[in-house]
Amino acid sequence: RAGIEFALVKIATLGHTCISLQALTDQTAKMLQAEPEYVYNLLEDLLEKKRLRSEEFQNTQLVYPEYLYQAECIVARRLLRLKDQARAVGKIDVEAIIGDWESKENIKLADIQKQAIQSTVQHGVLVLTGGPGTGKTTIIRGIIKVLEKAGCEILLAAPTGRAARRLAESAGREAKTIHRLLEYNPAEGRFAFAHNEYQPLEADVVIVDEASMLDIVLASYLLRALATGCRLVLVGD
């Protein structure tokens, strides 16, 4: 049983939240030099006792550690809620605000960049992606300009201190690590955050840069701290 749990931890460190039952059986049997049938029977017992979680996907039985299963479910539920229940922003002329900002900054946005800024006003969740030099930072600044005009309270965050500093410099306003944003208290435990579903962040919009560095567990705690109606912008390559 410890070998099965260890195999799942190794799989999680590679970025996976689950693995097929067959692959987990084979990997654990190989690692422990045990018979695959013996490992399979133990797996079935753990699943039956809800020590592990299982889901069917495309005719494949996938196995999760309990904590990753719960985190993935929270992320899915919260993203759907944010997507569908964003608060309407104040009546603003987005085109005019962008045009005025372009003139002041002496820049010219591409149509797809303008579309990204418009999408933040129209939708509760936006994923902004692209490699280095594709204009993500410019779009973030444009999003901030437009949503500030709409009277929105905007918070900026990133998974690491270095990424947060880069975001603050490029956006011209404070940005925090996600742990600082959620007010992490290490004395109370590994995931002891002051902000959660019972005490959400006071924000209309949360912009997270370098979102590809977010793991599923931290993402679940961040999403729990966003009140219904808050907008979420995830930025990364």
pLDDT digits (tens, 9 = 90+) for 52-109: 999 999 999 999 999 999 999 999 999 999 998 988 887 889 999 999 999 998 999 9
DSSP code string of 55-85: EEETTEEEEEEHHHHHHHHHHHHHHHHHHH-
Identify residue 60 by its one-letter amino acid code: T
Point out the least confidently predicted range of 7-16, 106-115, 220-229: 7-16
Can you spell out the DSSP letters for the chain?
-HHHHHHHHHHHHTT-S-EEHHHHHHHHHHHHT--HHHHHHHHHHHHHTTSEEEEEETTEEEEEEHHHHHHHHHHHHHHHHHHH-PPPPP---HHHHHHHHHHHHT----HHHHHHHHHHHH-SEEEEE--TTSSHHHHHHHHHHHHHHTT--EEEEESSHHHHHHHHHHHTS--EEHHHHTTB-GGG-TT-BS-SSSS--S-SEEEESSGGG--HHHHHHHHHTSPTT-EEEEEE-
Give the pLDDT confidence score for residue 132 in this predicted structure. Answer: 86
Structure tokens given for 186: 């290490």
Q: Of 20-29, 100-109, 111-120, 186-195, where does mean pLDDT reach its minimum?
A: 186-195
Task: Convert the pLDDT of each residue in 111-165 to its tens digit.
Answer: 999 999 999 999 999 999 988 888 899 999 999 999 999 999 999 999 999 999 9
State what percent of residues in the chain have pLDDT above 90. Answer: 83
pTM for the predicted model, two decimal places: 0.90
